[in-house]
Structure 1
């Protein structure tokens, strides 16, 4: 937990950089040169299905990463009430099979093997990328259903620019962001600070539900630095600190109030070497996650833990010719954990992996790549992984791509070492995946159609043993298959522009033993987003439809289908200043994403966005 002295320092830093932005208001911009710290991301999107959410889209759903992904992607978000514990489901696979990737580094919890979306504030990132399908060859354990990429960028030769954003909404909700960047030909500096908080005391009278003890607050700081010593060498640093206090809703005012606190530190330093034949990116990474659970908010913590990871990652790309290259990725990880009243003692693990990829072809016509990976993981046997993908542009209006891969999820510290019940003999979950995407374009329209199939084996499940103790075992084999489609329209006129997209996904996740759909996987999901801008006025509309969702694996209990509509208006009275107003859940729909925990009915938000 942060000390009071450390909190004071952070508040002073926030104030200092606020003044810096105001002082530099009139700075001029020059040539743009934006660099992703995750240098694999641009390579992956050549053949994989990728969705990129820009900083403007993030501000449309700034309340939480849950809201952003729920309304701007077809990932199902399972949230225990607004602002509480939340997890994603890619193609029906569930949270443990989704990788969270921060600037190219897998940051899933070493205890749970997944991430809580509501402890990842979207305002901390310049953009959010969504990769559908397996990616374990590059991004490691958990990248089975897909991966969520939390990216920070560094600009060169762009001068000074910044953002001040503030939003106030229903239930005492406040979101704010300050971001500033400065760069010249050799130096790049980036700093941002964000804060979110909410009383979150909404009521759903039809269900006699009050979100008691639902308040939350979180603060994040991001610092990025990069320096080019010459045209071929660049050194960079990216660090993030995040601190949150998240209360858990109770159903009765006489229940004991609980809460959960998280402090996260992520830091990476790197060196990029670029020459005619060789490109190399060396990263040194330190990750630390601290958490404390309070069974009574007025008492000392009841349980907790600390997880630390030390990572050395080297990404070497050698160009054989203009159209072909070999890419060797090597990574060493040292993981250690320490539990407090949580069954975990002091587990430690060494890991080393090698990935080799070969890429070939003309990116404008035909492009393909092959990949292979082997992990050396202390304590258990890990599988051999592979990937194969290709993209073929048939003509100006049609192109197709195919992806085949084997992916995995390693047992976590909780799975292996929890006492009592941990199982050190667990095998890694593995899956085989195949998908084929078809892309059509005609004038201002684009259509994408992606059927996919996954077969997962040895899924880890905690079950009660004869002794009465719950223990994890490799028991379930599941088939995942479905169809994803997206239709978009983009057009610019002299004083106006229109951007619209509608996406539909059909998902089946069938337990091979019971032949039934897994819990919390909607069969049908539809997302619709449209943005219209006329001179200084902008309008946006969001719609989300989820079909009936089973809440158990026997298809006995379910949540009814629902349709949610959001809409907003933005006005730019003068250049660089934008005022916004938004209505969420316009139709006052009563709905839940998790059984018994209802989401808010109609609510409102106003915002001010100042850009330099």
Structure 2
């Protein structure tokens, strides 16, 4: 059965669950337990459904306006990649319920092929995390989380949105839970002609249509007081038509299908917690260099994974954590020279957590990866936190992280390089956390040094091939100020983030491309009784687009703002209206691919 057939059957099941009344939440089951420990030491942005609904176009929009990440997007809804702290998309790890899901072909994830509304929560964690999350977790990690609540009864929510460029977005989520059983099902469908125009750039987004479907099924069952068996499955199917400059150009398209399934057995007692996971990940992509002709290239990959996470609590001051995993990666390409390859990989990591007195916390970890045919380093991490007083905490993190070559890096014909080494980074950061009344401020200077970076360069024959080359130095500051206050029947939330990034290739003394030195993002939300008004703003500084740092080819700085209003009617109904790019800014995040000028959307959200 194909992914599309899986999706059709799953969506019918989603609509059959129905609606009912809500009960009090008793227990919430989280699939990625390591994030709870990370919160003590590393800067993490947490976004929930109410945040998603302010930027429902796609995941790129959410990250662009609500996180420190720079998003490089080839036009609205097209190929999109993230950048943390001056690193690359390959040095960013996507984590789905605790499992690394970066492509085994590319070594990265395409943000716009990860449907936004299929997740209950996003966590954006800046800084290295390879000891826990493996290859690619150098600049930061983006966590796509689903959760399951117990003892909550029947619940359901339905979201419907229409917008400019003939955009339609719909989402349905239903759930049932009692004291032992929890089931959650959701389905999402998005489609858009995406035919926006930017006359000042003499640009029309021709052949820019896209559509995608996502289905999620989660279930958990408590076996006695100490054991929980859970299952999480996601099916995605998407089509993107890649934009062309004029009607004379050949139109292209791209299909992406994915299937992810994760089974977990969790044990919890007073002294021991253990999580054993089995996962299967399947990705299929097809590229058509002529929209009406058979596919011209593509590939299919499978990942079989087993992971165990054991935590032993010796006392209220000391705990030991042992993590081991094994995975088998298989891939077969089409018209890429990658006929059929596979790779065995595994790792073992140990972490100790020590809380000698109430105001001090320590965590230290060591890890060794074993990747077939590739030498890997011993990794380490250290974190320390000191509560200086009631309003100020200081946190120190330093770590060694890495990324091993992807299948395209090694085997792409005729240019793959089987002799590539792993990228290695050393990094440190000093977090300063202030809290006074309703204000919270985080200021984190950081430093990253990367060696053996894998880059695709032209060789003497003019062929692009991957090589271990540059040493890269990146340093800067991430800062964020938050304010939240209730005034009787009204609520105000304000946030403002500033990011400074200095990222250079030390061998050429040039800035890395697509790394703006300055980013400012912020939002203001005011809620009174049944009405909510919000405003978002984003400033990006000058952004080089070439390795020689040419000013003439750089993207100029820009400021983009969105605003919206939501009205809650009769408790369960919410009407919303949004204006995107309210000042009609002309801007782009990738050279030659402008994003839309002012546009609009309206939505209805029903929550039972």
Query: Separation in 2 of the partners of 1:12 and 1:483?
Result: 48
Q: Secondary structure at the match of 1:564?
A: strand
Name the CA distance, whole Å, in 1 between partners of 2:79 and 2:523.
26
Look up the match of 1:200. 194
- Map of 1:478 onto structure 2: 472
Alignment of 1:433-444 (within 5 A): 433-444=427-438
CA shift, 1:366, in A, is 1.3
* Distance in 1 (alpha carbons) for counterparts of 2:126 and 2:498: 14
Determine if the alignment matches structure 1 residue 236 to structure 2 residue 227. no
Other-structure match for 1:522: 516
Partners of 1:581 and 1:79 in 2: CA distance: 25
Distance 2:61 2:41 in 1: 28
Alignment pair present for 1:305 and 2:308: no
- Tell whether the 8 Å contact from 2:195 to 2:206 is kept in structure 1 after alignment: yes
Deviation at 1:279, TM superposition (A): 0.8
1:363 positional shift: 8.7
Indicate which of 455, 473, 480 corresponds to 1:461.
455
1:382 aligns with 2:376: yes
Do residues 164 (structure 1) and 153 (structure 2) align?
A: no
CA distance in 1, matches of 2:357, 2:488: 33
TM-score, normalization: structure 2?
A: 0.98
1:353-404 C-alpha deviation (Å, 9 max, x unpaired): 0010000116952111000000111011011100000111111111111110
Give the Å deviation of 1:83.
0.6
Tell me what 1:586 maps to: 582
Are 1:499 and 2:493 counterparts?
A: yes
1:448 corresponding residue in structure 2: 442
1:84-114 C-alpha deviation (Å, 9 max, x unpaired): 1000010110101000000000000000000
- Compute the displacement of 1:19 (Å): 4.8
1:271 aligns to 2:268 (yes or no)? no
What is the aligned partner in structure 2 of residue 137 from structure 1?
131
Match of 1:593, SS? coil
What residue in structure 2 maps to residue 34 of structure 1?
28
Q: Which residue of 1 aligns with 2:607?
A: 611
Alignment of 1:360 with 2:354, yes or no, is yes
- CA distance in structure 1 between the partners assigned to 2:555 and 2:331 by the alignment: 37
Which of 549, 564, 571 is 1:568 aligned to? 564
Which whole-Å CA distance do the structure 2 matches of 1:30 and 1:549 have between them?
49
Out of 102-111 and 153-162, give the one that drifted further: 153-162
Q: Does the Cα contact within 8 Å between 2:131 and 2:379 map onto a contact in 1?
A: yes
Q: Helix, strand or coil: the match of 1:416? A: helix
2:509 aligned with 1:512, yes or no?
A: no
Q: How does 1:237-252 map to 2 (within 5 A)?
A: 237-252=231-246
| 1:62-90 alpha-carbon deviations (Å, 9 max, x no partner) | 11000000010121100000011000010
2-side partners of 1:187 and 1:18: how far apart? 19
| Structure 1 CA distance for aligned equivalents of residues 573 and 124 of structure 2 | 29
Shift of 1:12: 5.5
Cross-structure match for 1:18: 15
Matched, 1:489 2:486: no
In the TM superposition, residue 210 of structure 1 has moved relative to its aligned partner by 0.2
- Give a deviation string over 1:226-262, Cα, whole Å, max 9, x none: 0011110110000000000011000010111100000
* Partners of 1:363 and 1:222 in 2: CA distance: 43
- Partners of 2:7 and 2:214 within 8 A in 1: no
Q: How much has 1:468 moved relative to structure 2?
A: 3.0
Distance in 2 between residues matched to 1:511 and 1:117, nearest whole Å: 26
Number of the residue aligned with 1:53:
47
Distance in 2 between residues matched to 1:472 and 1:405, nearest whole Å: 26
Aligned 1:112-123 pairs, distance under 5 A: 112-123=106-117
Residue of structure 2 equivalent to 1:81: 75
1:554-589 CA distance string (max 9 Å, x none): 111201100001000000121011000000000001
Residue 590 of structure 1, CA deviation: 0.5
SS of the residue aligned with 1:118? helix
Give how far 1:14 is off: 2.7
Q: Which residue of 2 aligns with 1:423?
A: 417
**Contact 2:572–2:606 (8 Å) recurs in 1:** yes
Structure-2 residue corresponding to 1:68: 62
Which residue of 138, 146, 151 maps to 2:140? 146
Query: Does 2:208 correspond to 1:224?
Result: no
Cα deviation code 1:95-142 (max 9, x no counterpart): 010000000000000000001100001111001000000000000000
Which secondary structure state, in structure 2, belongs to the residue aligned with residue 414 of structure 1?
helix
Q: CA deviation at 1:15?
A: 4.4
Alignment deviations for residues 453-493 of structure 1 (CA, whole Å, 9 cap, x no partner): 00000001111222333221111100000011111111012
User: Deviation above 6 Å: which 4+ runs of structure 1?
Assistant: none
Counterpart of 2:420 in 1: which secondary structure? coil
CA distance in 2: counterparts of 1:19 and 1:474, whole angstroms: 53
Q: 1:123 to 1:327 in 2, by over 3 A?
A: same
CA RMSD between the two structures: 1.3
Distance apart, 1:11 and its partner CA: 3.8
Matches of 1:99 and 1:489 in 2, distance apart? 30
> 1:290 maps to what in 2?
284
Q: CA deviation at 1:16?
A: 4.7
**Per-residue Cα deviation, 1:35-64 (whole angstroms, up to 9, x for no partner):** 210111111111111110011101111110
TM-score, normalised to structure 1, is 0.97
| Unmatched tracts of structure 2, length 5 or more | none
Separation in 2, partners of 1:168, 1:367: 49
Of 538, 542, 555, which residue of structure 1 is paired with 2:536? 542
Give, in angstroms, the shift of residue 2 of structure 1: 3.9
Per-residue CA deviations over 1:535-554 (Å, capped at 9, x if unaligned) read 00000100000011111011
Aligned partners of 2:14 and 2:187 also within 8 Å: no
Q: Distance in 1 between matches of 2:487 and 2:11?
A: 40
> Residue 62 of structure 2: SS of its match in structure 1?
helix
